Amino acid sequence: MKITVKLFAFLRKGRFAAQEFNVKEGTTVEEIMSNLSITKEEMKIGIILVNGQHSTFQTVLHEGDVLSLFPPAAGG
Contacts with other proteins by CB under 8 A lie at 6, 8-10, 12, 17, 44-45, 47, 49, 51-54, 68, 70-76
Closest CB 18 distance from other proteins, rounded Å: 8
Instruction: Output the CA–CA distances (angstroms, integers) from residue 12 to 25, 26, 48, in the order listed.
Output: 25, 25, 15
Which residues, in sequence order, are bridge partners of residue 49? 54, 68
22 vs 73, which CB is nearer to other proteins?
Answer: 73
Find the shortest distance in angstroms from Cβ 10 to other proteins: 7
**Nearest in space to 46 (alpha carbons), one of 1, 6, 2, 76:** 6
